[in-house]
Amino acid sequence: MSGKKQVFVIGGTGYVGASVIQRLVKHRTAAESEYTVLVRSEDKERKLAELVKSGGLGNVSIKLVRGSNADVDVLEAQAAKADVVFSIASSDDVPAIKAVLAGLKKRYEQTGVTPILIHTSGTGVIMDKAEGNFEGTKYYDDTIPEHFDTLADTQIHRDVDLLVIEADSQGYLRSYIIIPSLIYGFATGPLYDAGVGNLHSIAVPLLVRNGVSRGEVGVLGEGLSKWPAVHVDDTADLFITVYDGVISGRAGHGREGYYFAENGHYTWYGLSKATAEAMVALGKSKSTEPTPFTTAECEEMPLLRALGTNALCHANRGRALGWKPKYTVDDLYKSVKPEAEILLGVSS
């Protein structure tokens, strides 16, 4: 093994992960680092290998490993070789994170050096069950660890987050948990041009495709509840800001290592309304007013209930490290129609 810093990236071909890789290969530590990227599909492995060989990601050392979160033996083996792990795949896979933690523990026992885990959670961890009927009042501040202590263990993502925090408390790694909100925007760069990175997030495509199938865009309840939003580029920038903070020793870890990614809050009605207006402009709906999802629709697609929750937070810890998000909630609303055009293969 070379003397270079070993960086293992899980989820590097995803919507956010590919953007993070594009920043890592340009990072000031790139020349002294070796990157290993877990790649799930044969097609993406081939495309990424061609891009690396052609120098499309610069003159950096990148190794590819076939596998997914289901391959826990691969995760553990690669984590055991890593000084830094970026976990940017599933936020809810307990066996996968246990494998990563086991590997990092081996790394610590073998080297005596504390490895780094930068893990991805999500603001679903703080969401309520408002059903769209009211705006929440409790804002979570990532500089106040006690806010997280109040979360029920049954909250989505929480079981994995607690395993990560416990590993930090045991001292065999330092953990940093990035908590993105609703991520939006067009992901751009060589990995996306090559067909490696995913181009779309979840919420806006869900509203668009569901709107096509039901003939008009839906909203849960009155759509009064609110969520934070963050652009994909700003999200990837936060990963790098935290990484810089890790290197400089300025970034809090463990219980003091939660980092929200948000730059403003939107209402679910506002996002559904923007989607409805876009669908009418594209000839895919006749109503610019969203209509309530029925109980039957929510039972058939439980994910729709998440579109009526509150998840309110302030990303103060990342900002204190120097994170400066550029895109606002207005940009979220403006992004809906161009994304719908791509998703539906039409234009106005």
Asked whether 314 and 142 are in contact (CB, 8 A), the reply is yes
The predicted pLDDT at position 215 comes to: 93
The predicted pLDDT at position 346 comes to: 85
3-class DSSP state of 201: coil
The predicted pLDDT at position 80 comes to: 98
Long-range contacts, 283-291 (Cβ 8 Å, 24+): 283/346, 284/211, 284/212, 284/340, 284/344, 284/346, 285/211, 285/215, 285/216, 285/217, 286/215, 286/216, 287/216, 287/217, 290/216, 290/217, 290/218, 290/219, 290/223, 291/216, 291/217, 291/218, 291/219
- Helix-, strand-, coil-residue percentages of the chain, each rounded to 5: 45, 15, 40
What tokens were used for 27? 């990072």
The predicted pLDDT at position 173 comes to: 98
The predicted pLDDT at position 348 comes to: 65
Instruction: Indicate the DSSP class of residue 291.
Output: E
What tokens were used for 160? 């994995």
Where the chain has pLDDT below 70, the residues are: 1-2, 348
CA of 34: how far to CAs of 13, 238, 240, in Å?
Answer: 17, 21, 16
The predicted pLDDT at position 2 comes to: 65
Instruction: Indicate the DSSP class of residue 226.
Output: E
The H or E element spanning position 105 is helix 94-111
Give CA–CA dist 153/174, Å, rounded.
Answer: 21
Q: In sequence order, what are the residues at sequence separation of 6 or more whose Cβ sits closer than 8 angstroms to the Cβ of residue 319?
A: none
Asked whether 173 and 108 are in contact (CB, 8 A), the reply is yes
Query: pTM to 2 decimals?
Result: 0.97
In the chain the domains, ranked by start, together with CATH numbers, are: 5-128+139-195+229-261 (3.40.50.720), 203-228+264-338 (3.90.25)
What tokens were used for 109? 């026992």
The predicted pLDDT at position 261 comes to: 98
The H or E element spanning position 6 is strand 5-10
Amino acid letter, residue 13: T
